[in-house]
């Protein structure tokens, strides 16, 4: 008989989320989350159930760790309640809330269980939700502030991190259909929330790389999409479904970035060769030359360029944009995105399709 052997170091684990298991959501100075508020709104949740007690993990975590150990788990993925750490989402840290997760991590390590931390599993501080939540562009900075607190507190002991859990669920359930917190039903809010979730992921990853040196990523829920036939309408419908469910979160993280990096690699050498030769011309380059692709215009400081001023771009992005300009590439050069997949379902950035079951209707 042939047995399947898992590789050495394979982690057998379980996963939870804070609001689903912890209970005591307002204990020890914690702030209100949008899920606490949502669950306490009559008619929002089946049987008006809520997370006030749940699995009582906040008070019984030591028993839970022993159960995990007895099950033979080697990893435990759990999420942090943002509002336990920062009751209003930013500013003053709640030491008792932070202490809970520090004790949990230490207990897991003592039991031989590797902690795997998710920073956001759908429960947003209500104070931030009141000023726009994921619709507010500033949330990327708020998230980075919160993430940095956690990285500094636990980064030396936690080897695996996730920034966001299933952002598609947040946008589809929370902002498009209103079935989940915050309970909005707005066609125009969903893509704004999706964009800001991805921006928050980026700021948190940058913060992590400045503080720690293990592993960090994004958790997405993916669904393969196949057309029911090779009819153009079925292929087009499949591309739209794949773009909405999968590519709107995968492309910005992987495809667009890799495409941009490849473009930069091809042009950096030429850029370096012309830098010294054209140094004296930098101040004389105008935007019209640059738009025509003249590499000399790349030397114009970004602060003097109208289409970057006031956008609040990070220094890393400013550097990258300057390198693109140095290579004579338009700053708004097209890159493969969800919208391009929807507009052109036959483009090379759409999935390889085979007839299975997805219909245009």
Which residues touch 15 (CB under 8 Å, ≥6 apart)? 76, 77, 78, 116
- pLDDT score for 233: 96
Q: Convert the pLDDT of each residue in 150-200 to its tens digit.
A: 999 999 999 999 999 999 999 999 999 999 999 999 999 999 999 999 999
In sign, the C-alpha dihedral spanning 165, 171, 173, 178 is positive
3-state class of 218 per DSSP? strand
**pTM exceeds 0.85:** no
5 occurs within a structural domain = no
- The mean pLDDT value of the chain amounts to 79
What share of the chain in percent tops pLDDT 70?
71
In this structure, the strands spanning 13-15 and 215-219 are unpaired
Instruction: Report residue 138's pLDDT band, with 50, 70 and 90 as the boundaries.
Output: very high
Give, in order, the Cα–Cα distances in Å from 312 to each of 52, 141, 303, 350: 40, 11, 11, 31
DSSP line for 193-212: HHHHHHHHHHHHHHHHHHH-
Q: Tokens 């898992």 map to which residue? A: 6
Q: Where does residue 230 rank: exposed (0-12), middle (13-18), buried (19+ CB within 10 A)?
A: exposed
Instruction: Report residue 344's pLDDT band, with 50, 70 and 90 as the boundaries.
Output: very low
- Identify whether residues 24 and 169 lie together within a single domain: yes
Separation CA 82–CA 87 (nearest Å) = 8
Q: Convert the pLDDT of each residue in 296-332 to its tens digit.
A: 333 333 233 333 323 333 333 333 333 323 333 333 3
- Identify whether residues 209 and 237 lie together within a single domain: no
- Identify whether residues 205 and 254 lie together within a single domain: no
Q: Which two tokens stand for residue 87?
A: 């009751």
3 occurs within a structural domain = no
- Identify whether residues 315 and 360 lie together within a single domain: yes
1 occurs within a structural domain = no
- Identify whether residues 216 and 252 lie together within a single domain: no
273 occurs within a structural domain = yes
Instruction: Report residue 14's pLDDT band, with 50, 70 and 90 as the boundaries.
Output: very high
- Considering 189, 221, 253, which residue would you say is the last residue of a domain? 221
- Identify whether residues 216 and 259 lie together within a single domain: no
Which residues touch 78 (CB under 8 Å, ≥6 apart)? 15, 16, 17, 18, 104, 115, 116, 117, 118
- Identify whether residues 212 and 232 lie together within a single domain: no
- Identify whether residues 203 and 235 lie together within a single domain: no
Which has more confidence, 322 or 215?
Answer: 215
- Identify whether residues 91 and 110 lie together within a single domain: yes
350 occurs within a structural domain = yes
- Identify whether residues 233 and 198 lie together within a single domain: no
DSSP line for 252-298: IIIIHHHHHHHHHHHHHHHHHHHHTTTGGGGGG--HHHHHTT-GGGG
- Considering 185, 203, 221, which residue would you say is the last residue of a domain? 221
Domain limits for position 259: 227-361
Separation CA 115–CA 106 (nearest Å) = 9
156 occurs within a structural domain = yes
- Cα-Cα end-to-end distance for the chain: 48
- Identify whether residues 205 and 348 lie together within a single domain: no
Model confidence at 87: pLDDT above 80:
yes
Structural domain total, the chain: 2
- Closest-CA residue to 340 (of 227, 224, 247, 260): 247
Question: Do 116 and 16 form a contact (C-beta atoms < 8 A)?
Answer: no
- pLDDT score for 256: 67
- pLDDT score for 67: 98
CATH label of the domain that carries residue 67:
3.20.20.80
- Considering 170, 188, 221, which residue would you say is the last residue of a domain? 221
Alpha helices in the chain (DSSP H): 18-21, 34-39, 57-71, 82-85, 95-110, 126-129, 139-154, 167-171, 189-211, 232-242, 248-250, 256-275, 287-291, 315-326, 338-343
- Identify whether residues 247 and 186 lie together within a single domain: no
172 occurs within a structural domain = yes
2 occurs within a structural domain = no
């Amino acid at each position: 008989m042939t047995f399947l052997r898992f590789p050495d170091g394979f982690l057998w684990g379980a996963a939870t989320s804070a609001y689903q298991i912890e209970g005591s959501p307002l204990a020890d100075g914690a702030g209100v989350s949008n899920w606490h508020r949502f669950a306490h709104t009559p008619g929002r949740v089946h049987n008006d159930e809520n997370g006030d007690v749940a699995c009582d993990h906040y008070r019984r975590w030591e028993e839970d760790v022993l159960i995990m150990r007895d099950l033979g788990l080697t990893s435990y993925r759990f999420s942090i309640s943002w509002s336990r750490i920062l009751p209003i989402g930013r500013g003053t840290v709640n030491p008792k809330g932070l202490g809970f997760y520090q004790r949990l991590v230490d207990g897991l390590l003592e039991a031989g269980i590797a902690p795997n931390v998710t920073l956001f599993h759908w429960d947003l501080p209500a104070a931030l939700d009141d000023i726009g939540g994921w619709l507010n562009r500033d949330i990327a900075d708020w998230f980075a502030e919160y993430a940095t607190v956690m990285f500094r507190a636990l980064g030396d002991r936690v080897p695996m991190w996730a920034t966001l859990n299933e952002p598609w669920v947040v946008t589809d359930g929370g902002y498009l259909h209103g079935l989940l917190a915050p309970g909005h039903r707005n066609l125009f809010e969903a893509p704004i929330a999706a964009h800001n979730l991805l921006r928050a992921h980026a700021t948190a990853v940058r913060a992590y790389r400045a503080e720690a040196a293990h592993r960090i990523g994004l958790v997405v829920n993916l669904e393969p999409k196949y057309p029911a036939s090779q009819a153009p309408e079925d292929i087009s419908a499949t591309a739209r479904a794949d773009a909405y469910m999968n590519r709107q979160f995968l492309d910005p993280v992987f495809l667009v970035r890799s495409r941009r990096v490849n473009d930069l690699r091809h042009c950096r050498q030429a850029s370096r060769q012309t830098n010294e030769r054209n140094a004296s011309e930098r101040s004389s380059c105008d935007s019209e030359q640059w738009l025509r692709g003249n590499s000399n215009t790349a030397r114009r400081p970004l602060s003097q360029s109208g289409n970057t001023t006031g956008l609040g771009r990070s220094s890393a992005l400013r550097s990258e944009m300057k390198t693109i300009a140095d290579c004579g590439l338009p700053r708004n050069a097209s890159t493969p995105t969800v919208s391009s997949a929807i507009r052109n379902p036959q483009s090379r950035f759409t999935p390889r399709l085979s007839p299975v079951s997805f219909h245009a209707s």
